[in-house]
Amino acid sequence: MCTPVPAPAAQEEWTARLTRYRALAARTEAAAETGWFRAANDRFNRESAAPGTDAPTAFARISRAEDLYWRRCTAPMQEAAEALVLTSAPDLEALRDKLAVIRAHQLHEEGSIERDCIEVLEDDLVRWCARLA
């Protein structure tokens, strides 16, 4: 199977966006699994289980942590995922990465991003075919 050689600028843009997405995804995962957000959830769970806990204070604290997690982690990662999907995939490996991001963030659902994902993928294939012709 032949794949076209991407233009250097296209490859650089893809690589930069993929690197950013992966860094944000790793940061989000670390915060949720072992970092500050995990600690906030563990504290909330301990406080909720303890008798005599001030439930409104515990709830307000976890609500602030969830909002901060959204602003620091989820929203930037989602924006990076969308930017990556809308970037031309320079080769088949990039297309595979793009499909994984689409699935992971359910970007194929109507209204998830500014363009239909199938159209974005078709554009990649049209560009590849034009370069091979």
Residue that wins the pLDDT comparison between 4 and 92: 92
* Rounded Cα distance, 64 and 106, in Å: 26
pTM of structure: 0.86
Whether 4 has a pLDDT exceeding 60, the answer reads no
- State pLDDT tens for residues 37-77: 999 999 999 999 999 889 999 999 999 999 999 999 999 99
| C-alpha dihedral (40, 43, 48, 54), degrees to nearest 10 | -90
Determine the pLDDT at residue 53: 87
